A and B are shown apart, each in its own frame.
Chain A
Amino acid sequence: MEADKNPKSTVWQSLFGDPVRAFGVVSLLLLIFLAIAPAKNHLSEWRHYQQQYLTLIRGRGDAVTLQRHLQGGIQQIWLPDLGVVDRCTTCHVGLKEASLADIGTQPFRRHPVIPHKLDEYGCVMCHRGQGAATTVEEAHRSTLAWEQPILPARYVEASCGQCHRAALAGTPQLNLGRTLLARYGCVRCHTVKLPDGGTMMATDDPPSLSHIADKTTREWIYAWLKDPQAYAVSATMPNFKLSDLDARDMSAFLIANSTALPGDAATLPVSKTAPDPTAGASLYGESFCASCHAVQNAAGNVVGGDVGPELTRVGSKVKPEWLQGWLRNPRSYDAETAMPHYRFNDQQLSVLSGYLESKTDSDLLAAVHLDTATPEQVAHGKTLVTEYGCAACHEISGIKKPENFAPELTRIGSKPITQLIFLQGMPHTLPDYISAKIRQPRSFGAALKMPQFSFTPAQVDALTTALLSLTDRSQTLPRALVAAARQTPDYKPAGKAGKLMADLACFSCHTINGRGGDMAPDLTWEGSSVQRSWMHAFLKNPNTLRPALIRRMPKFNLSDGDINELTDYIMTVYQSPGIDRDSLPVSGYPTTQVEQGRQLFYAKYACQSCHIVNPKSDKGYIGPTLTQVGSRLNAAWIFNWLKNPQALRPGVVEPNFNMSDDDARALTAFLMTQKTASKQEAKK
């Protein structure tokens, strides 16, 4: 024991035996400890990068300027209003140097052009990460003390969405993601509260299931529940991965729960004469059904619009009586449908419904054999329908719409990683978690209710981006910084014409006073734009104005009374306050002015590159055909349009030529001479 102790005590003795020596040793130790901090500072990463930057710029022509711009030491952008303390510019020294465009290595790259100034917004507003950190690791990657690592570049548009609630031209991915959140019904189960107090609203239109037995069979419901995309590849309904028995019971309940509507079972009075096989297809074409409905072609491509459901296999779904009733007047089954009420006659109804009934798929229901449902099955079906939250999207009589059915996503973009449960082998980051949840929700647990959607990888990225924009910061931003979404006004035209317009679903395609679709022209000022006689004739028989368009105004077979009602309403109500219809005459322009206008049309402004006045020589295919524009438009409208098209219809493609009044007047004179051929007038 003593032998062991001896050497130690001698060391102790030699160091601290003598008070002077002890003082010396302690001082030395203190000095070493004191030197740690300056040494760490001297060897810090940022110093290394600033040195590297100096080496990088040394040989360049603008080295002197660059060097003058460089400020050594720790740099900081401090924005107290936003809670931003960013020291990123300590290492990222060349962010604002336009001349460094050829440098591809980080941290010296120039920042790409964006609409904001770096000094006003800092870095973490967009890129996240730990702004105050001064080491690479701490600033960029998630540490236990900091939950927000750098946002990968593929999701960076999410940061724009924190302040910008409306769609931006530069953020296509974010815009798509938000559209998908609304269109695929995500926000029907998941609440997303917006900072302005509202909630994100769904834009899809899931049908009511209260009268489903009128429309389709239990076998189809079964097949649909099992795999919606087998019926229609473009269906937005997700796959709930139901077992055969669950699908059996749910279909049993939905049929048993359905109540009949009068009119759905009415059969057509006309005898079923063998219809012309091409008549159905041509009526489908003439009615421009494809503007809203898609059909999958032989090559597997889905061709057509996405306003209404895909019709590839519609004959395997709907009952003939229901289909006829629906085509006769869709509003008697669904008052809010986007489908217009075509005034088809019985003959047309039978041809069109026959054509649609022939669109079948024998494989779809071949394997479905269901026995008559027992009361137990129906009861079990009701439980399942309630549990799966079907009523969050669909109206089902007897089942209440569930509230807060799924986790709220208002602040999902700031969700702490410690609160997430990751799958094995998955990168532990929030974007990876969100995108995996969207791609394979059930892989996080077989008992989870979230269904399987069939999104493409680009759609998953877009949805992830939109969700990542829902951060704490987005909720707590200073008011002045929020660029609010445009409110869609709840405009409804009044009176008899208003009812007629709702019946014809004008707003499914046209926008008026800010509300409506974008498939067809904005009609807000249509009354100032067109002549009454043209409007009347167009509603009676819509002809083509833009030859290159495949989506056109359908013929609704309106009665003369309805046409007069609509024409009068449009001509009186949809008037622009800035245009005096009578300020320029319809005809009687001096020949010299007309000729001057012709010169301007063909030479100075080369309007024929987009428009056709003389069908023999002009070929322009972008704007509307102007062969009969003098019978269609008002002179005052043409004049004002030429002066500034975007003032009359925001966002229109025709450029503003900054035309002089004289030129605009001469062109107006020339265009007003382009009247409907006298032959047709004689016919009238």
Chain B
Amino acid sequence: MRRSSLTGFACSLIIVIGTTGCSRKSVSPSPLRPTAFGSALVESSGGKQIGATGAVLAQPVIVQVNDEQGNAVPGALVESSGSAGVSFDPSNGLTDSSGQFTTNVMLGGMAARYQITASTLSKAQKRVELQLEETALGYQEQVGQQIDEKYCARCHNPESSPERVSNYDNLEIKPHAFTEGNTLNKMTDADLTAIISHGGPSLNKSALMPPYGYTLSKTEIQALLAYIRLISDPPYRGSGMLYVQK
């Protein structure tokens, strides 16, 4: 113990001497000079993705700079910024020949919705901004997401693919998509838990929604609820919801 602390002390001494010896000025990269200016920023793709906390989103975020006529502007400078914890690779750059700027987005370490902002300067040096939103799922929400995919999505998600045909169109009474914030946000946690556990009839709703309380554990239902709350659009602002501020 004593020996290690001694060496530790010696090491830190060396570090202190070493770091004070050299300058700590960070070398700033040569600033990018825009060769053109646009007047509008539009999203090409990459908004409203759902990823895991701390992970790089599956798709890059691509934004396009347009001029007043709506034509793409190559060579315009786009800068990106986001709520705390979000990082970009690259964080700024010039638009390519098709007027687009592509960046990979890494979300922060907590389950939340993250605002990201892309901005560019117009000819008149006015800042034009575009706001996008991404969602990061934590442990609990990821468990919920998997339960959704296994048990719920076949009916609650109207999107159909050959690999997973949606049952949505076959149902007489249409279920609500989990992103339907306008409806689901009005329901309390207790109501949603009741409907999941005991089926539609428990809240005088359709029996087409079966009970899952004997199939899923309480923890699993809580996880599903956390997931539903996090992905709802418009966002759920009840207790327990997190919205990362800048």
Contacts and interface: CB of A to CB of B under 8 A. Distances in A.
Interface stretch (B53-61, B69-77, B119-127, B181-189): B53-61
A113 B4 contact: no
Contacts of B55: 154, 173, 458, 461
A109 B139 CA distance: 16
Interface in B1-27: 4, 7-8, 11-12, 15
B140 interface: yes
A427 to B, nearest CB: 13
Contacts of A143: 8, 11-12, 15
Interface in B197-246: 206-208, 210-215, 219, 222-223, 226, 239-245
A170 B207 contact: no
Contacts of B15: 143-144
A112 B140 contact: yes
B132 interface: no
Interface string A476-488: 0000000000000
Interface string A153-173: 111100000000000011011
A114 B110 CA distance: 12
Contacts of A603: 207
B54 A156 contact: yes
A153 B167 contact: no
Nearest to B54: A153
A170 B226 CA distance: 13
A559 interface: no
Interface in B124-177: 138-140, 142-143, 146-147, 150-151, 154-155, 162-165, 167, 169-171
Contact of A609 (B111, B208, B213, B219): B208
Interface stretch (A98-106, A193-201, A318-326, A584-592): A98-106
A655 B211 contact: yes
A604 B207 CA distance: 7
B211 A621 contact: no
B242 A102 contact: yes
Interface string A499-512: 00000000000000
B112 interface: yes
A655 B215 contact: yes
Contact of B140 (A113, A144, A605, A657): A113
Nearest to A153: B54
A163 B139 CA distance: 17
A115 B15 CA distance: 40
A375 to B, nearest CB: 51
Interface in A547-600: 548, 550
B11 A145 contact: yes
Interface string A637-655: 0000000001000000101
Given A101-B241, A104-B245, A105-B84, A112 B110 contact: yes
A42 interface: no
Contacts of B222: 113
Contacts of B34: none
A112 B245 contact: no
Interface string A601-617: 00111100110000000
B110 A655 contact: no
B139 A170 contact: yes
Contact of B214 (A115, A153, A655): A655
A113 B170 contact: no
A619 interface: yes
B109 A153 contact: yes
A489 interface: no
B54 A619 contact: no
Contact of B8 (A145, A458, A609): A145
A113 B138 contact: yes
Given A101-B239, A145-B11, A170-B142, A657 B211 contact: yes
B65 interface: no
B208 A606 contact: yes
Q: Which has the most chain B C-beta neighbours within 10 Å: A101, A155, A548, A646?
A: A548
Contacts of A653: 150-151, 154
Nearest to B200: A606
B52 interface: yes
A657 B215 CA distance: 8
A658 interface: yes
A143 B12 CA distance: 9
A607 to B, nearest CB: 9
B112 to A, nearest CB: 7
A656 interface: yes
Contacts of B215: 646, 655-656
Contacts of A451: none
A269 interface: no
A620 interface: yes
Contact of B4 (A145, A152, A154, A658): A145
Interface string B57-101: 010000000000000000000000001100000000000000000
A458 B104 CA distance: 12
B116 interface: no
A112 B111 contact: yes
B210 A609 contact: yes
Nearest to A549: B165
B192 interface: no
A182 interface: no
A457 B56 contact: yes
Contacts of B140: 112-114, 170
B106 interface: yes
Contacts of B212: 655
B158 to A, nearest CB: 13
A113 B211 contact: no
Contacts of B11: 143-145
A364 interface: no
A154 B54 CA distance: 4
A606 B214 contact: no
Contacts of A519: none
Contact of B139 (A101, A105, A112, A657): A112
Of B7, B110, B219, B243, chain A has the most CB atoms within 10 Å of the CB of B110
Nearest to B212: A655
A172 B139 contact: no
Nearest to B84: A104
A384 interface: no
Interface of A: 98, 101-102, 104-105, 109, 112-115, 143-145, 152-156, 169-170, 172-173, 457-458, 461, 548, 550, 603-606, 609-610, 619-622, 646, 653, 655-658
22 contacts: A104-B110, A112-B138, A113-B140, A114-B140, A144-B15, A145-B8, A145-B12, A154-B106, A173-B52, A457-B104, A458-B56, A461-B56, A548-B165, A605-B207, A606-B210, A609-B155, A609-B208, A621-B170, A653-B150, A653-B154, A656-B214, A658-B211
Closest 5 CB pairs of A and B: A153-B54, A153-B109, A619-B170, A154-B54, A548-B165
Given A104-B84, A112-B140, A173-B52, 6 more contacts: A102-B242, A114-B140, A154-B53, A172-B142, A619-B169, A653-B150
